[in-house]
Amino acid sequence: MPEDKTPLYTALSRRAEEPLLRMHMPGHKGKAPLPPALAAAAALDFTELPGTGNLYEGLPPVSEAEALAARAFGADSCYFLTGGSTQGIYAALALCCPPGSRLLLDRGSHRAAYNAMALLDLVPEYLYPAVLPGFRVSAGITPEAVKEALLRDPCIRCVLVTSPTYYGVCSDIPAIAAVTRELGAFLVVDEAHGAHLPFLTGAPCAQGRGADLSVASAHKTLPALGSGGLLFASEAFPPERVRTMTALFGTSSPSYPVMASLDWARGYMEGPGGGEYRRAVRTLEAVKKEIQSRKIFSVLGPGAFPDNDLPGVTFDPARLVVNTLKGNLGGFEAARLLEEEHGIVCEMADASNVVCIVTCADSDGDLLRLGRGFAALEEKCPCAPPYRLPASPPPPPALRLSPREAVFSAAESLPLHSALGKIAAESVAPYPPGIPVIAPGEEIDKFGLNYLRQIGYNEDTGILVVRRRKDA
């Protein structure tokens, strides 16, 4: 890759080659006694020095790498994150939501959004997406639902939408952005699972498609190191303000290998990576057809809903979601068999589906092996005991305290079965997919407890509940 295409990665690599006596942190000094597996990345593990830049002060070469990323992802500006999309969600909501304000968000939001509400003292108003038939996963958020909620409660000034979801379901971001713009609310998009999409579709990231801010976990779907994320911001947000907020939720020693990998991954995707991703998706399409041709599986994608009108919903072509229920096999069991019998480790499973993340790092051979693994599952299906689909999630409990009051109040741990009527000080979000059945500040009711029992959640598990004032 030409060196000027990756300013940060190149600057750090050059510095690592200089015969310098490193009398600065990190303590490993980029050399022995580190084991070889760690030493290669540690060679680039610098601190803020002349020539290495400064993330939170926006100094080159970090800022140069960010500018190239903004261009590649079609955003007004880009800020590197070393704390994943989690850090980006905190910063984005801090930029849009004054303490005590209301936030409109998908109930199926990642726990980072729930934690952000506690940290920033936000009060939730939830959107409940429709469910895709058969797969029982979110059909995404519609612009109509956002409009209706904003008209119902004009105090709401910020909307958080997750697109794509963990299952690769994408909402119509430009249409939602048109609504939020019309009604004077900020739109923040949690695009944690969609960092690769601009290189597959040619369309910009969510911020470039109309959102005010969007976050992407480069580490999830691009060849970047764990916890590397990107925050994209419209030009309405002054860079110093954005950096103040990312710094508020980040370590003061951001990882240089992580930042270098963000720079390198973007350069790679603008070079050979884009073609490699498209190659992987083409092979995956053939694998999906082969899996779908087996009577026991359904593959999530546009072809799964020939009679259903799903306006605005699109699917990430690089995500493989296989519904296993027709084979009388639960998703967890299918994922277990894939790992134990074929050495295939899926990203996650739920009661009905197995989810695999496919990227440019997967060779055609890897993808064919994945297909063979699913094919072999077919033989297992007749042996499986009749599979009973768990109940649908219950309606959300009543909110008695704000998330912040609940999370930061004096709390005690009770077994779930004794917590009826108490106010939760933490979430109960069976993972995956990690959607809270009970969220902080909500009253624990019989519907939630019954549902948790039905899905086999251990009722002896402790839950933190708010201690009543007289016990405090």
Ligand X SMILES: Cc1ncc(COP(=O)(O)O)c(C=O)c1O
Nearer to ligand X, 85 or 353 (CB): 85
| Closest CB to ligand X: residue number | 84
Nearer to ligand X, 224 or 329 (CB): 224
Nearer to ligand X, 124 or 327 (CB): 124
Taking alpha carbons only, the member of 91, 68, 48 closest to residue 1 is 68
Nearer to ligand X, 44 or 89 (CB): 89
Q: Which residue in the block uniquely carries the two structure tokens 């579709």?
A: 201
Q: Give Dmax over CA atoms of the chain in angstroms.
A: 68
Nearer to ligand X, 7 or 331 (CB): 331
Q: Count the alpha carbons within 13 Å of 253 in the hemisphere toward its beta carbon.
A: 7
In whole angstroms, the minimum distance from the beta carbon of 167 to ligand X comes to: 10
Nearer to ligand X, 357 or 424 (CB): 357
In whole angstroms, the minimum distance from the beta carbon of 185 to ligand X comes to: 20
d(Cα 224, Cα 222) in Å, to the nearest integer? 5
In whole angstroms, the minimum distance from the beta carbon of 274 to ligand X comes to: 22
In whole angstroms, the minimum distance from the beta carbon of 209 to ligand X comes to: 18
CB 416 within 8 A of CB 459: yes
Nearer to ligand X, 70 or 192 (CB): 192
In whole angstroms, the minimum distance from the beta carbon of 119 to ligand X comes to: 14
Could you tell me the two tokens for 322?
Answer: 């296989």
State whether residue 341 is helix, strand or coil: helix
In whole angstroms, the minimum distance from the beta carbon of 111 to ligand X comes to: 8
Nearer to ligand X, 111 or 369 (CB): 111
Rg, the chain, Cα only: 23
Cβ neighbour number for residue 391 with a 10 Å cutoff: 12
In whole angstroms, the minimum distance from the beta carbon of 424 to ligand X comes to: 21
State whether residue 357 is helix, strand or coil: strand
Taking alpha carbons only, the member of 171, 237, 241, 262 closest to residue 209 is 171
d(Cα 208, Cα 234) in Å, to the nearest integer? 8
Nearer to ligand X, 86 or 255 (CB): 86
Nearer to ligand X, 85 or 180 (CB): 85
Q: Which residue in the block uniquely carries the two structure tokens 């994922």?
A: 335
Q: Give me the residues that bind ligand X (CB under 6 A), please.
A: 84-86, 110, 112, 162, 166, 190, 192-193, 217, 229
CB 300 within 8 A of CB 323: yes
Q: What does the DSSP assignment read for 442-465?
A: BB--HHHHHHHHHTT--TTSEEEE
d(Cα 166, Cα 317) in Å, to the nearest integer? 13
In whole angstroms, the minimum distance from the beta carbon of 436 to ligand X comes to: 13
User: Exposed e or buried b for every residue in 248-258, given b needs 16+ CB within 10 A?
Assistant: ebbeeebbbbb
d(Cα 287, Cα 90) in Å, to the nearest integer? 38
E runs forming strands in 331-461: 348-349, 353-357, 411-415
Judging by beta carbons within 10 Å of its beta carbon (0-12, 13-18, 19+), is residue 150 exposed, middle or buried?
buried
In whole angstroms, the minimum distance from the beta carbon of 197 to ligand X comes to: 14
In whole angstroms, the minimum distance from the beta carbon of 89 to ligand X comes to: 6
